[in-house]
Structure 1
């Protein structure tokens, strides 16, 4: 914890912030150490930090004294020495006035207190808020600073790696945790149960619903967290009514007196219809666990979201205001016809003690009630008319037509495409885009396919999913398009195509989202987009993409829209390069490549980069079925990882990302035991994963150059690095972010949740 508090100091003592920001290239007397730091950033060993290497840390561009887009060793050394003279090496000499000035600037609303939202990292706020009252006074901050000064803490970077605070005991503090929705009922139909109102009359879920859906909010008159959430529920009642979504308040615990429940509703001015679930039937059907869970059903009674209302209150903590509005966000997505970004969370609250579930009669699985919803949630995104899938699966007739292939691909684990192995020690998937079928869905689908394939009642059918005819991100602010179409032959293979487009933006643009849209998606295997500064050399050929990329397209991952405050930089007058891999499909077609961009209205807090860790010296012997290659890199700065992606060609068999932390502990980050060249998937974290400076990231690839690999072009040859499919590559991509604000550099590390 001591080292984490040094990070706090580096924010509050702004005069030292720039010194911290250049810690990755400390200009100390020992030039050997400086050279080691420089080499860590100079990934290709050409003596320059340039191109994507400049993304290694947010402060590197500021060391570029002549602004030519690259750093020499001498230039970097001169710049860091100048900064050290300005900033000094120690914070112990910084005056009290500097602390006051920085405190006032961080105090955005001028109330004389710092809240968690006014600091960029909640962990620092916890350290500064010594009395745990939800706010930091100047006096508190100065006491913490004085204590650290007493210990001799300095503003220059420690030679040790930062230590993450000890994990808080989950038995004392509990916040919402992200869950995989398909494993918790999301996407399934909720039966139209009948409940008893507080007045003793009956009410069905269908009669309580609005034209666009229903929110079921569990509560308890005696649960303190239910009471804390009640004002937000009251606000939400009014908003939902305007959106055509109704709310049903359900008193969950059995045995609560009607007058206590009525008093609770009156005290909090809750006016939605209310009911009791004294026998626990609704809670059992929804698999509810606490008195604070909320459930969103669409107009067809499909469960869209379940979990916490927001993250303001939990067991053992309270925030001034919520940072995540899970239910509001889910309703907004549903009304736009899109699945929510977060489909399920746990809900901190008073635990329910439900009666033992009674045995239920086996229910026949039908297309309209179960299978159509299952396919919508897992398959139809690609398998719809005009989608990237080879055929649609959005009707009963289409599913029957392709039943044999569906069964085969599901049984062998090829569909839906998801190749990450479960990580040891985790009870839930850390990936926000996890496409794997839940055990229940897989069993239902295979059982239905092996039965008489009952169609069921059309009244049970889900709402049809509607897909945009062109841009799924909405109308782009700008479109970057190839000047002319590319002709794709009918048979065989094609060399990678390279298309460059020079932009005419007079100033840098911050891109908060993009979508790559080929006109002939059926023949596009993948696209890698690189961006080059105006006046710099446009690299191409076999090395393009090895150091990283700016945007990428693969089936199923064709777009990215970043959270608020995050964006990619598109330099003024930049050249955009498309590297395109086409796969002929029996017909001669033409393709015109386009990329749509969404611009941020203001500069972001964080800049997104994608860095590549590669091994261009691979040499795969003839006939070898399990040839292993490795590559590793020591991180010169703290890194917040957003996603991983592996890239090999047709001999690729398995791929693994690992990290060795500064203390020596090794962890598996991503394990792909069955790599499939046809699916270059991104693996997106639900929450960024923090890797401290000094960690070593290692990638391991297994190649199959044997006759047992049916995709192998020639098992008799030694295979080396090259851009064509009959060559091989080994690249591990890491998407991460750095702060745009120089004063936040080096102190923005968020631990993973």
Structure 2
């Protein structure tokens, strides 16, 4: 193994600085273009220029990889790749634990194998602050990384080539010229995934190099969806921040800034004194080992490594995930950060995420067992569902007979995933044999659901939900592959009331199945409504649409009163089938009605849209649509 020089020569230092200065030189007359979704692509960033002189250690093998003069016998070609003819190197920037990045690891392994005989070599580059060689090597082995993982300590390479996010790829040919930079493909985004990629930008660029036709490669970069890299030293952002496909409503953000302004933060904010408690309350339910959050936020070291991404998603209110307009209703399961906590998190990251003096609070204890206590009865799906390492999965529906010979009353219900790392959410319905079967899901009763961080369904004292004798439970499971193949057997536990309750809880599906969404329609409205036929109490909501769902609103209309918005979800997210539980039950008077207004986006601008050229009607498959406003109510 070649030893690392203790101190570079002055000439080498000057060559390195010259290379870096060359790389960060501003191009005149930058090229701009529109992407497939109409958004402006980033300007040309160093494509067509020669990369600098870099030496990075492979944390798995211990070998050094030299990136200066790829064709030199004692450089990259000679030292690392030996006698094999090398056409290009692909540098993929990674951030261990980033959910978006780990979804792509199997795909990258496939590409590395496919192009190996063509002389294309893949390298993963870890540039995030707080990473160590030991941790990186363990992660690479755990994830089965099939190509070298290089440690960019001090983010020198990331700075020089202006990379800001994981998942960005740099393709360098045998002459040391950068030929492509940008995304792997467009399959996975921040809030949606496609069954298959529509654009395979990285593979297309490699094909062009293999065919000796680099002119086919568009010199404009492609937008990258990935986790922001936390740097050891602050620097200007080279790339524009990527917006969500459906960003938080601008007028909601303005209202929050006015009515819930960030207070001044006195003194320094530290992990030990401030941030650990916030993470425990709002983040760790999902962000811990074995859960769906991807990376852990249990320790200071965990949070420091992800601090740049934490600041980004908190700043744009993407996390913690909560889609209800705060101007309407109060909900016991509201996941939002308070204005003070949000300001503290942003101030902490801006100060380079200090640990602080003293001792961090005791770790939060998470229940390994049932949150509702020991259930009286448990129903588990009969066979394990296989979940692949990559791609997307349609909803999986599994029916489980209850074998109840008489009606039972449910006081509390809790759905639990078998593998929380891949179960995004669960909805458990009750198929009552005495109810109509011709309405599909809309005719089923909602029992309970699971989403990371949500609470189980526990009814107020004196209230319970009836499950009729002979009913079947229908599990609707949404799986999100995370880069590792696994299986899941989810289940639901019920606590039964010993006697009939004072009030019966039921679920109503306020549905409209008679709609046609025209091809290309960006904002197609659909309405449903239900009258209040007896005095009752409203307990919770759950809007349900599919991939074209854009917004959903519940409004209470009463004679002699102005309409009142009960719940407004202006940026509906199919990936989060959220259950909105009122902080206090709401009385509904006889003669009132609840109106549901949904809006669907069947345009090409909707990234999750399966096919914008087709008219869409009601159906249970995700490429079809549904319009259901579920509500839980109770009455004597």
Same fold flag (TM > 0.5): yes
Indicate whether 1:362 and 2:266 are aligned. Answer: yes
CA positional deviation for 1:470: 3.5
Provide the TM-score with structure 1 as the length reference: 0.47
* 1:410 shift after superposition: 1.1
Kindly indicate whether the alpha-carbon contact (under 8 Å) linking 2:425 and 2:576 is maintained by their aligned counterparts in 1. Answer: no
- 1:438 matched to which residue of 2? 338
498, 510, 516: which one aligns with 1:613: 510
Q: TM-score, normalised by structure 2?
A: 0.55
Corresponding position of 2:327: 423
Superposition pairs of residues 225-374 of structure 1, within 5 angstroms: 362-374=266-278
Q: Cα distance 1:537–1:587, how it changes in 2: closer, same or farther (>3 A)?
A: farther
Say whether 1:458 aligns with 2:358: yes
Counterparts of 1:609 and 1:585 in 2: how far apart (Å)?
A: 36
- CA change 1:578–1:558 in 2 (3 A) is farther
Q: CA deviation at 1:421?
A: 1.4
User: CA 1:558–1:488 in 2, change beyond 3 Å: closer, same or farther?
Assistant: farther
CA–CA distance in structure 2, aligned partners of residues 408 and 694 of structure 1: 47
**Paired residues for 1:108-187 under 5 Å:** none
Distance (Å, rounded) in 2 between the aligned partners of 1:361 and 1:671: 31
Shift of 1:430: 2.0
Displacement of 1:732: 0.7
What secondary structure sits across from 1:646 in the alignment? strand
Q: Which moved more, 1:382-391 or 1:714-723?
A: 382-391
Following superposition, the deviation at residue 548 of structure 1 comes to 4.0
Partner of 2:284: 380
Tell me, yes or no, if structure 1 residue 402 matches structure 2 residue 402: no
Shift of 1:507: 3.5
| 1:397 alignment partner, SS class | helix
Unaligned runs of 5+ in 2: 1-262
Residue 731 of structure 1 and its aligned partner are, at CA, apart by 1.1
Q: CA deviation at 1:734?
A: 0.7
Moved more, 575-584 or 711-720: 575-584
In 2, distance between residues paired with 1:371 and 1:361? 13
- Mapped to 2, the partners of 1:578 and 1:558 lie a distance apart of 18
Q: Distance in 2 between matches of 1:361 and 1:589?
A: 45
Alignment correspondent of 1:155: none
1:629 and 1:416 map into 2 onto residues whose CA distance is 29
Q: Which residue of 1 aligns with 2:568?
A: 671
Structure 2 residue corresponding to 1:517, chosen from 413, 416, 436: 416
The superposition leaves residues 165-212 of structure 1 with CA deviations (integer Å, 9 ceiling, x where unpaired) of: xxxxxxxxxxxxxxxxxxxxxxxxxxxxxxxxxxxxxxxxxxxxxxxx
Note the C-alpha offset of 1:361.
9.7
Paired residues, what number? 374
Q: Which residue of 2 aligns with 1:27?
A: none
CA distance in 1, matches of 2:594, 2:265: 52
Separation in structure 2 between the aligned mates of residue 360 and residue 722 of structure 1, nearest angstrom? 51
3-state SS, counterpart of residue 410 of structure 2? strand
| 1:547-696 correspondence to structure 2 within 5 Å | 548-557=445-454, 559-696=456-593
Q: CA deviation at 1:364?
A: 0.5
Deviation at 1:518, TM superposition (A): 2.2
Deviation at 1:539, TM superposition (A): 4.6
Aligned to 1:743: none
Aligned to 2:623: 726
* TM-aligned CA deviation for residue 397 of structure 1: 0.8
Report the equivalent of 2:379.
Answer: 480
Range moving further from structure 2, 662-671 or 439-448 = 662-671
Sort the Cα spacing of 1:624 and 1:660 in 2 relative to 1 into closer, same or farther, 3 A: same
Unmatched segments (≥5 aa) in structure 1:
1-358, 740-753
CA contact 1:538–1:575 (8 Å) conserved in 2: no
User: Cα gap change, 1:387/1:589 in structure 2, threshold over 3 Å: closer, same or farther?
Assistant: closer
Which aligned pairs between 1:519-534 and structure 2 lie closer than 5 A? 519-533=418-432
Instruction: Using the TM superposition, give the Cα deviation of residue 571 of structure 1 relative to its aligned residue in structure 2, in angstroms.
Output: 2.8
Question: Secondary structure, in 3 states, of the residue corresponding to 2:340?
Answer: helix
Listed one character per residue, the Cα deviations across residues 701-743 of structure 1 (whole Å, up to 9, x for unaligned) are 112222222222222222222222222211111111122xxxx
- Equivalence for 2:153: none
Deviation at 1:615, TM superposition (A): 1.4
Q: Is the 8 A contact 2:333 2:455 kept in 1?
A: no
For residues 627 and 416 of structure 1, what CA distance do their matches in structure 2 show?
Answer: 29
Query: 1:392-439 CA distances to partner (integer Å, 9 max, x unpaired)?
Result: 211101111211221221122111111221336xxxx62222221111
- Cα distance per residue 1:67-100 (max 9 Å; x no partner): xxxxxxxxxxxxxxxxxxxxxxxxxxxxxxxxxx
What is the rounded CA distance, in whole Å, between the counterparts of 1:377 and 1:714 in structure 2? 40
Q: How far apart are the structure 2 equivalents of 1:455 and 1:448?
A: 9
**Residues of 1 paired with 2:532 and 2:431: CA distance?**
24
Deviations 1:357-398 (A, max 9, x none): xx9993101111111111112111222233332222111011
Whole-angstrom CA distance in 2 between matches of 1:509 and 1:537? 16
3-state SS of 2:273 partner: helix
Query: Are the structure 2 counterparts of residues 361 and 556 from structure 1 closer, same or farther at C-alpha, using a change threshold of 3 Å?
Result: closer
Q: CA deviation at 1:491?
A: 4.1
**Residue deviations 1:216-249 (CA, integer Å, cap 9, x gap):** xxxxxxxxxxxxxxxxxxxxxxxxxxxxxxxxxx
Q: Deviations over 1:148-179 (max 9, x none)?
A: xxxxxxxxxxxxxxxxxxxxxxxxxxxxxxxx
- Secondary structure at the aligned position of 2:335 is classed as coil
The whole-number CA distance in structure 1 between the counterparts of 2:265 and 2:407 is: 63
Deviation string, structure 1 residues 516-548 (Cα, Å, up to 9, x no partner): 112123333433322244x658959x8224554
- The separation in 2 between residues aligned to 1:596 and 1:583, in whole angstroms, is 23
Q: Partners in 2 of 1:572 and 1:543 — Cα distance? A: 20
Alignment partner of 1:737 is 2:631: no
Change (3 A) 1:539 1:416: same
After TM superposition, give the deviation of residue 573 of structure 1 in Å. Answer: 3.9
Stretches of 4+ moved more than 6 A in 1?
A: none
Between stretches 595-604 and 666-675, larger displacement belongs to 595-604
Taking a change above 3 Å as real, the CA distance of residues 626 and 546 of structure 1, as seen in their structure-2 partners, is: farther
- What RMSD over aligned residues (CA atoms) do the two structures have, in Å? 2.5
Distance in 1 (CA, whole Å) between partners of 2:623 and 2:475 is 21
